[in-house]
């Protein structure tokens, strides 16, 4: 259940068996949600953090007029709200984008980890700082990149992030998102996303059809996006 989380942590530093055991023991409960389920609402009191075991989840914020910004996408093995451990309520919503399996990790057990396992604590801290690094990159996309560049960037990022957990190859990956949902990640309308995807296809960089991403030219796609994977901190070192 926590295998994909371990995979990602071990890519960045060693996790010993005591730490692995503590993570396994921290999970209290598993839940399955259908797609489009808003399972954590803004302001709700929280006493557990949620680890995504399977599926795709987003963090989002809404405006009164119905405008929605997805501020983060989470893939299997990500904690979707490790930050709720210290925040206790969230300033945003969390919703499934596909059918999902999640694992609940009570804050009391996280507290125990922070008091007994300092290195594992730092690794969990690392994962929230990694979330922040990804958010900075999205901010650059939303504020500065063109529609084409930010769309290309999102597809590059997901190829790397899904690749780490064995869900993407050089050739592509499954991405069960609609163009409207992509638009909510990118600050674009669905119509604009459609147009932008056509341009990416015409340039021979990638295709997105029927929830499948086909990467035709990753180097070209990364160049169009100005994508550098340094913000994903893929190097293994003592932390």
Partner 1 sequence: MARFYLHVINRLGTARDEEGAELADLQEAEARAIEGIRSILADEAKAGRLDLDGRIEIADESGAIVRTVPFEEAFEIRPGDDRASGRSGGR
Sheet-wide strand order for 100-106: 29-33, 100-106, 48-54
HEC-encoded secondary structure of 35-87 = CCCEEECCCCCCCEEEEEEECCEEEEEECCCCCEEEEEEECCCCECCCCHHHH
User: Given candidates 31, 41, 89, 198, which one binds partner 1 under the rule CB under 8 A?
Assistant: 198
Task: For residue 213, state whether it binds partner 1 (rule: CB under 8 A).
Answer: no
| Minimal distance, residue 195 CB to partner 1, in Å | 5
Contacts with 178 (C-beta within 8 Å, 6 or more apart), sequence order: 190
| Minimal distance, residue 39 CB to partner 1, in Å | 22
In 3D space, the residue among 65, 99, 69, 93 whose CA is nearest the CA of residue 80 turns out to be 93
Task: For residue 35, state whether it binds partner 1 (rule: CB under 8 A).
Answer: no
User: Given candidates 15, 152, 197, 222, which one binds partner 1 under the rule CB under 8 A?
Assistant: 197
Question: How many whole angstroms separate alpha carbon 89 and alpha carbon 109?
Answer: 17
Q: How many residues bind partner 1 (CB under 8 A)?
A: 17
Question: How many whole angstroms separate alpha carbon 196 and alpha carbon 129?
Answer: 31
Task: For residue 192, state whether it binds partner 1 (rule: CB under 8 A).
Answer: yes
Cβ neighbour number for residue 62 with a 10 Å cutoff: 13
Instruction: Write out the binding residues for partner 1, residues 94-113 only, by CB under 8 A.
Output: none
| Minimal distance, residue 200 CB to partner 1, in Å | 11
Instruction: Write out the binding residues for partner 1, residues 116-155 only, by CB under 8 A.
Output: 146-147
| Minimal distance, residue 149 CB to partner 1, in Å | 11
Task: For residue 214, state whether it binds partner 1 (rule: CB under 8 A).
Answer: no
| Minimal distance, residue 210 CB to partner 1, in Å | 8
Instruction: Write out the binding residues for partner 1, residues 148-177 only, by CB under 8 A.
Output: none
Q: Which is nearer to partner 1, 172 or 183 (CB)?
A: 183
3-state SS, residue 110 = helix
8 Å CB contact between 225 and 145: yes
Question: How many whole angstroms separate alpha carbon 31 and alpha carbon 104?
Answer: 8
Q: Which is nearer to partner 1, 110 or 224 (CB)?
A: 224
| Minimal distance, residue 148 CB to partner 1, in Å | 8
* Interacting residues toward partner 1 by CB under 8 A: 146-147, 178-180, 188-192, 194-195, 197-199, 202, 209
């Amino acid at each position: 259940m926590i295998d994909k989380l371990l995979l990602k942590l071990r890519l960045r530093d060693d996790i010993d068996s005591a730490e692995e055991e503590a993570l396994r023991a921290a999970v209290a409960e598993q839940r399955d949600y259908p797609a489009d389920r808003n399972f954590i609402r803004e302001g709700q009191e929280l006493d557990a953090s949620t680890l995504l075991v399977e599926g795709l989840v987003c963090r989002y914020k809404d405006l009164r007029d119905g405008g929605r910004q997805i501020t983060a996408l989470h893939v299997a093995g990500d904690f979707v709200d490790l930050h709720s451990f210290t925040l206790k309520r969230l300033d945003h919503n969390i919703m499934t984008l596909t059918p999902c399996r999640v694992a609940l990790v009570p804050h009391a057990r996280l507290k125990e980890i922070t008091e007994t396992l300092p290195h594992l604590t730092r690794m969990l801290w690392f994962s929230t700082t990694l979330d922040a690094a990804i958010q900075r990159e999205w901010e650059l996309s939303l504020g500065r990149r063109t529609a084409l560049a930010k769309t290309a960037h999102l597809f590059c990022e997901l190829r790397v992030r899904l690749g780490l957990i064995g869900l993407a190859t050089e050739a592509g990956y499954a991405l069960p998102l609609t163009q409207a949902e992509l638009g909510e990640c990118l600050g674009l309308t669905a119509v604009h996303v459609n147009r932008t995807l056509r341009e990416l296809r015409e340039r021979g960089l990638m295709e997105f059809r029927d929830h499948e991403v086909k990467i035709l030219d990753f180097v070209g796609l990364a160049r169009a996006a100005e994508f550098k994977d340094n913000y994903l901190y893929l190097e293994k070192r003592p932390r």
